[in-house]
Structure 1
Amino acid sequence: MAATTLNTLTLPYAEGMHWFKQVRDLTWPMLLESGQIEKTDAVATVDEEISLGARFDIVVAAPVARIIHRHPHTDVLVDEQRTRTEEDPFKAIQQWLLSHPVERTPEVPFAGGALGYFAYDLGRSIENIPVMAQQDVPLPEMMVGIYDWAIIVDHHARQCKLVSHLRYLDQAGLEQLHARLLSVAPECNSVPFEVVGNVEANLDQAAYAQAFTRVKDYIRAGDCYQINLAQRFAVEVRGDACQAYDHFRQLSRAPFMALMQVEDGEGLPVSVLSMSPERFLQVVDQQVETRPIKGTRPRHLDAEQDAAIAQELSGCIKDRAENLMIVDLLRNDIGKVCAVGSVKVEALFKLQRFTNVHHLVSIVRGQLANGFHALDLLRGCFPGGSITGAPKLRAMEIIEELEPHRRGIYCGSIGYIGFDGCMDTNIAIRTAVIAQDRMTFFAGGGIVADSDCAKEYQETFDKASQFFKLVAAFKTKNEWSAKN
């Protein structure tokens, strides 16, 4: 029987980043943060509320369980006890959620449940993918915490509250946490964040062109219709990644931002900084939504030129065809677990403007069929088709062949699945990972039959431009003087 009572304690209104700093000394703190995007008439005709992620921030910490998957093993850590299985990692999460179901509370997106990341390489636990790309960043394919409480910031109502169904915590414990949050933030003696090296790409222009040509060969041979080809950038860093994220969020805002500072179960600290503009999958009251992005142009400082660029993107036959291809793929994916006849394309090729790029966004919706859980949907669609290509499995095989390094979290997903069965996840693009004193980030784009190599190569730099600004902001003076 689902619980109906949500315990709520009021907090002063403040951004999620404020509350993250209040709990970051606890185990596995995570922040899901919203950010405004510019409204456009093209999208407003579909949704009055087009700033999809721009209402709620969610902060969690101190999970009752940590679920960590490294193929083929899934470790469940509760306190100091570790249980290892080889069961499906999605099932390991689902067992925790279904054993403590609750009813959804309107205006509260998440009141406890699973929250974390699902790396692109988790697809190896779903499909048989060849092992060719190098894994030089030893990250788990999945790190998800089971959280019993959450801090919810509602930017529309300008309210903030601590919520819990008290599945593991008692009322006294919740009130103690509330008092802690109202106290002065603990002193932060962290080491200042610095970039101490130079950014290096794993594909130079010649190597990218060679991989691009191979993609075109596969397309002409009929192996695939589209491949998302990405390159990875890496740079040596040191210090507190929270400072990097705090600066990053001032540079660029997106609907699906995230900050995670976790430990991988083997003693390795990992920080994840995500500024994703793309929703992967949402479930609310069995209603399913996905919003794939395909089609990108850089912003221009001149308003007239910026408007012309946006208009050109909106009318580009190639980008519209590429977007439609991914919409068809996602319709098929969500149709695996949606009620027959419920999957509908609500909008195609709608323009959204972000800090550094324009994007074309489409909207697909459906209704989850009886007997299926949000995690069944996530598994059935993972990884997202907008960042693999079509057909998906063949595209993943080609990506494994042509990209030198495993993608890790890039093109995976970050988000939550609540005890109430609701889910919201992003596509983890515009995402950096900091581990072993190195920050890595990827950028890529979909290649189709009439793609131009030089334009596609440049697009990767356009998409990664905010990361380059972040690197420049924290570059040490010694490194700059050595180069100039």
Structure 2
Amino acid sequence: MRTSIYKSISDPKLFKQQLLFWSEQFREIIYLDSNDYPQNYSSYDCVLAVDAFTSIKTDYHNAFEDLKQYQQNTKDWLFGYLSYDLKNDIEQLQSQNYDGLEFADLFFFQPKKLFLLKGNQLEIQYLNMCDDEVEEDFEEISVQRLVFNNQKSAIKIQQRILKENYIEKVSKVLEHIHQGNIYEANFCMEFFAENAVINPIEKFIKLNEISQPPFAVFFKNNKHFLLSATPERYLRKEGEFIISQPIKGTSKRFLDASQDEQSKMQLAFDLKERAENIMITDLVRNDLSRTAQKGSVEVQELCKIYSFLQVHQMISTVTSKLDSQYSVVDVLKTTFPMGSMTGAPKISVMKIIEQLEETKRGLYSGAMGYFKPNGDFDFNVVIRSILYNQEKKYVSFSVGSAITSQSIPEKEYEECLLKAKAMREVLSEIKTN
């Protein structure tokens, strides 16, 4: 049983940071922040889950079935992630590229302590604990001082695939497209640093401040960290409704208002970007139909432009109603990995990009989120994110772009650099132009 206590918070923005600083003492942390971004589908402004009561950690073998059993047996709040390489559980695929991060393929935990903030109302849910402990923790959180360590350590960021090699690889993707093997491929590359020592919470706060996305995440599992400023939702379940919001299409923000509006309009009417988005929207429609009530799949928004601090994005919203014969984990399994991070058709693309990419994706382009006790869930797409193995002192972030028949390799490379800008700025402590 969970003990629930409700509090009014006078300064929610300050309290969110106090929550995050207080959480640092725990082995397992998931902190989710919507940054007050206006959106139609949102339950909370901020969520913090800490301290595992139970957990599941596994490789891809039989992972979705193991997760289904865990979710159905606990019938409680569960927080965690699905790595991209769970594709190997769904299809006859493999991942043999270099992995400097060594995250488990799947990890979820049932938190002892949970904080749910909406507006200035805070709900605290503790598992099998007394009211006194809740009050003691709340008092401790409320007096947290936000102290930053301003020591700057030199981090040398390297690029796994250099420009010349990138252009050569994208040209090979284009050959596959022109031969009719695939229609679109999301090709990704890694930036990394070795012997890197960072303060994960401090770097997350900086990344979040310069991006302010709706699905920000700070995640810790012992020595593994995710610092995510992702703008993309993978999948949400509300009752019988399933909501997916794939992103395809990116343009730069400008300080000058007229330049910025021009960039936004160019994205809205860019035929290549629209074609990318529509292709993936169609793939999502097909994926959702596998667990949907007949005739319930609908495109609510097609190629709508959303603006974030760093970039403008083209986002579509697809919904369905879940057929009662399917479990909540079935919905994830039949739509994973998300089409925005693969391309189409999925299986052929995943085989090709596995050959051309030089790094195992792991948690990058996977999903992070939670299940509620009633089976509702919400998961983001892990992009615009820094991953850190503290024990190995290995820092990594990856970026990608969608390659279609109209792609120009040099322009795709520039798009990757644009997407890398925020992470590079935060890690290198250097302001990029």
Say yes or no: TM over 0.5: yes
2:354, 2:85 → 1: CA distance? 10
Alignment of 1:139-150 (within 5 A): 139-150=103-114
Paired letter, 1:64 = F
Q: 1:456/1:36 Cα in 2 relative to 1: closer, same or farther (>3 Å)?
A: farther
1:341 aligns with 2:295: yes
Structure 1 residue 123, shift from structure 2 partner: 1.4
Q: Is the 8 A contact 1:12 1:159 kept in 2?
A: yes
1:220 aligns with 2:161: no
Deviation digits for residues 339-398 of structure 1 (CA, Å, limit 9, x no counterpart)? 111111111010100111111110100111112222111111111001100001111111
2:421, 2:60 → 1: CA distance? 33
Counterpart residue number, 2:123: 161
Q: 1:371/1:179 Cα in 2 relative to 1: closer, same or farther (>3 Å)?
A: farther
Secondary structure of 1:64 counterpart? strand
Secondary structure of 2:352 counterpart? helix
Structure 1 residue 469, shift from structure 2 partner: 1.4
Deviation digits for residues 400-422 of structure 1 (CA, Å, limit 9, x no counterpart)? 00000111111100101111111
Counterpart residue number, 1:89: 63
Q: Is the 8 A contact 1:244 1:470 kept in 2?
A: yes
Counterpart residue number, 1:358: 312
Q: Relative to structure 2, which stretch is displaced further, 456-465 or 373-382? A: 373-382
Counterpart selection for 1:128 from 85, 92, 95 = 92
Q: Is the 8 A contact 1:16 1:31 kept in 2?
A: no
Q: 1:216/1:284 Cα in 2 relative to 1: closer, same or farther (>3 Å)?
A: same
**CA RMSD across the alignment:** 2.3
Deviation digits for residues 208-255 of structure 1 (CA, Å, limit 9, x no counterpart)? 011111101100111100000111101242142111112222211000
Q: 1:201/1:421 Cα in 2 relative to 1: closer, same or farther (>3 Å)?
A: same
Alignment of 1:368-407 (within 5 A): 368-407=322-361
Paired letter, 1:209 = I
1:393, 1:195 → 2: CA distance? 42
1:132, 1:200 → 2: CA distance? 21
Counterpart selection for 2:82 from 114, 118, 128 = 118
Q: 1:325/1:399 Cα in 2 relative to 1: closer, same or farther (>3 Å)?
A: same
Q: Is the 8 A contact 2:155 2:427 kept in 1?
A: no
Deviation digits for residues 419-455 of structure 1 (CA, Å, limit 9, x no counterpart)? 1111000011111101121210011110000111111
1:182 aligns with 2:156: no
Deviation digits for residues 185-212 of structure 1 (CA, Å, limit 9, x no counterpart)? 5789997674423211111111001111
Deviation digits for residues 84-136 of structure 1 (CA, Å, limit 9, x no counterpart)? xxxx22232332332344xxxxxxxxxx5211111111211222214442223
Q: 1:186/1:141 Cα in 2 relative to 1: closer, same or farther (>3 Å)?
A: same
Q: 1:278/1:422 Cα in 2 relative to 1: closer, same or farther (>3 Å)?
A: same
Q: Is the 8 A contact 1:262 1:271 kept in 2?
A: yes
What are structure 1's unaligned runs of at least 5 residues?
A: 38-48, 73-87, 102-111, 264-268, 476-484
1:190, 1:310 → 2: CA distance? 36
Secondary structure of 2:429 counterpart? helix
Paired letter, 1:142 = L
Alignment of 1:187-266 (within 5 A): 194-236=152-194, 237-263=196-222
2:173, 2:48 → 1: CA distance? 41
1:446, 1:54 → 2: CA distance? 31
Paired letter, 1:233 = F
Q: Is the 8 A contact 1:11 1:161 kept in 2?
A: no
Q: Relative to structure 2, which stretch is displaced further, 27-36 or 50-59? A: 50-59
Alignment of 1:23-102 (within 5 A): 23-37=23-37, 50=39, 52=41, 55-72=44-61, 88-101=62-75
What is the number of residues matched between the two proteins?
424
2:147, 2:316 → 1: CA distance? 45
Q: Is the 8 A contact 1:374 1:417 kept in 2?
A: no
Alignment of 1:394-473 (within 5 A): 394-435=348-389, 436-473=392-429
Q: 1:65/1:248 Cα in 2 relative to 1: closer, same or farther (>3 Å)?
A: same
Compute the TM-score of the two structures, normalised by the length of structure 1: 0.83
Counterpart residue number, 1:22: 22
1:10 aligns with 2:13: no
Counterpart residue number, 1:138: 102
Q: Is the 8 A contact 2:280 2:343 kept in 1?
A: yes
Compute the TM-score of the two structures, normalised by the length of structure 2: 0.92
Secondary structure of 2:260 counterpart? helix
2:228, 2:411 → 1: CA distance? 25
Q: Is the 8 A contact 1:36 1:53 kept in 2?
A: no
2:263, 2:64 → 1: CA distance? 42
Q: Relative to structure 2, which stretch is displaced further, 175-184 or 134-143? A: 175-184
1:243, 1:347 → 2: CA distance? 36
Secondary structure of 1:63 counterpart? strand
Percent identity of equivalent pairs: 25
Paired letter, 2:213 = A
